[in-house]
Amino acid sequence: KAENALSSTLKSLFAVTENYPELKASQNFMQLQDEISDTENKIQASRRFYNGNVRDFNTQIQVFPTNMFAGMLKFAKYDFFQAAETEKQNVQVKF
C-alpha cells in the first residue's frame, strides 16, 4: 500500500514539474531524482531478498529431516512476492 501511495505521489509531482521548467534544472530536484532511483533500487533488492528467503524456507520444509518437524509444527509454504502489472511499470519522468 505504501509503495502504491509513493508511486501515485511521484506521478503527481512529475506532472507538476512539466509546467515549471526552472524546477527541472534545480539542484534539489536533480537530487530528488537520484533519491527516487536509489529508493527504487532498494525496493527491488528487498523483493529479491524476501523471495530468496521464501525459496530457502519452502525448500527446507520439504527436505528430510526438517520436513518432519515442519509437518509436526504445521509449517506451510510462503508465497513469493509478485507485484501487479501496474506496479511493475516504471514511473514516467519527462524533463
Residue 23 contacts residue 17 (beta carbons within 8 Å): yes
The cell for 14 is 512529475
Query: pLDDT in tens for each of the 95 residues of the chain?
Result: 566 666 777 777 777 777 777 776 678 877 887 888 888 889 889 999 999 999 999 999 999 999 999 999 999 999 999 877 666 666 665 55
Residue 74 contacts residue 80 (beta carbons within 8 Å): no
